[in-house]
Structures are given as C-alpha cells and as structure tokens.
Amino acid sequence: MKTTPRSPLRDIVARNMRRLRAERGWSQEYLANECGLNRTYLSAVERSEQNISIDNLYRVAQGFGVESWTLLKAE
C-alpha cells in the first residue's frame, strides 16, 4: 500500500470551514467549542495540513449545523 498523497479535498474542506466561520462571525476558538475539538487541530485543518477523518468531519458539520457532505463540495 502506497502512502496516500494529499488530496484536493483538504483545500475544499479548509475553504468551506473558513467561509462558514466568516459567515457566522465565529473565531476558531468558538468553532472549537461548538465542535468539541481542539482549536490547534482545527487551525491545521483550515491550513490543509491535517488529513481530517470522517468522524471529526461530522463533528465540524454538527458544530456548524450543516450536512457533512456539503463540506466536501467545492462552492
């Protein structure tokens, strides 16, 4: 099994998270509290540095109150 290369989904998720936070006027700290995830971790996801799993993606979606699949869709 080869190492999985960075996928373009990282940038799509990062962009959607930044857009949703901006629309709501939320800081990363506020989002972190809504999701129950670490702020440093979420910051890395927003810089496309973290390869987020679907369990954490679900928490982010729940925090924003959106459907998970919308986070993977390029606007």
CA angle, residues 45, 50, 54, in degrees to nearest 5: 85
Shortest gap between Cβ of 24 and a second copy (angstroms)?
A: 21
For a second copy, the binding residues in 41-60 under the rule CB under 8 A are 41, 51-59
13 contacts 72 by C-beta, under 8 angstroms? yes
Query: Is the CB of 22 or the CB of 74 nearer to a second copy?
Result: 74
Comparing CB distances to a second copy, the nearer of 25 and 74 is 74
Nearest of 28, 24, 1, 3 to residue 14 by alpha carbon: 28
**Given the complex with a second copy, which of 27 and 70 has the nearer CB atom?**
70
